[in-house]
Amino acid sequence: MNDSRFEAFFTGPAREYLIRAIDLALEEDGPDLTSQAVFAPDDRLAARIVAKEDTLVAGLPILPLVLDRMGDAARCEVAFFAADGDAVPDRAVVATVTGPAVTLLKAERVMLNFLCHLSGIANRVRQAVAALGGGRTRLLDTRKTLPGLRYPEKYAVLVGGGVNHRKNLAEMLMFKDNHLDRAGGIPQAMAALRRAYQGNMDKMPPVEIECRTLEEVGQAVAERPARIMLDNMDMETMRKALSMVPQGIETEVSGGVDLAALSAIATLGADFVSVGRITHSAPSADFSMLLKETTAP
């Protein structure tokens, strides 16, 4: 399986967060005392991981990582029959796993939880991208992710065809309503930011300004941020706001966007539309693991 996208995404802190999530999932389950009582240490099982619906696949490279964190990767064999991003039909076998029975039975739910959840997000993202119609406007995710699972969920967004927004608060500096109200407005907030980075402006991350009114859009344009967000505006107000933003400043539509509105929003020509629902409300895809006893190698 070509998992270069997975390896490129899960480097540095992203890799560490993924490993922590896997370790926590295994720790939550505790020892599988039932399997240990029924199966001998040398008993082996062969498992097929099967899609139970038409679905995109996301998260397959996590399977061997689960086995590795259990310390049993060397005694297991994993074969892939699909890759992340593939659309597979109902009843398709996406992977097989062979190994000690007690290992596979403990790993089963952890593997499936990741695979079902991430594939479900990829499905929802694919639907949203299709609704945008392939034009200028690209789909962004948000920080509305499950605690501890932000990086896997944002990876699933990429698999589904979306684009990642900032992964943490330091990756992009975003002025939201609370910041602007406290500072006294957009010019004052930007002045405070420049004071904070005085002498280190070259190290300042990109700035995004959230705008609620056309007046705020005009103020934001004057500050030349990297991106201007149009927050909770109606269609006509967004149309006027976008006409005010010159080339060189990215634009983002945000605020309560549902999938039904995406095709209309796409006609406005913004650079991005951010949708929390693609992560926080995506239904899981359905996969199962079918196991049978096998002989030792």
> Of 153, 231, 252, 271, which residue is the catalytic one?
231
- Within the chain, strands assigned E span 44-51, 55-56, 77-80, 87-88, 93-100, 138-140, 173-175, 207-211, 227-231, 250-254, 272-274, 287-294
Contacts of 232 (CB under 8 A, 6+ apart): 212, 254, 255, 256
H/E stretch holding 264: helix 262-266
> Rounded CA gap, 129 and 161, in Å?
7
> Of 69, 176, 212, 239, which residue is the catalytic one?
176
Q: Is 231 a catalytic residue?
A: yes
Q: Is 215 a catalytic residue?
A: no
Instruction: Read off φ and ψ for residue 49, nearest 5 degrees.
Output: -100, 120
AA letter at 169: L
> Of 84, 153, 210, 216, which residue is the catalytic one?
210
> Of 5, 75, 109, 143, which residue is the catalytic one?
109
Nearest Cα neighbor of 94 from 110, 111, 75 is: 111
Q: Is 208 a catalytic residue?
A: no
> Rounded CA gap, 88 and 69, in Å?
28
> Of 15, 48, 144, 212, which residue is the catalytic one?
144
Q: Is 144 a catalytic residue?
A: yes
> Rounded CA gap, 217 and 246, in Å?
11
Q: Which residues are catalytic?
A: 109, 144, 176, 210, 231
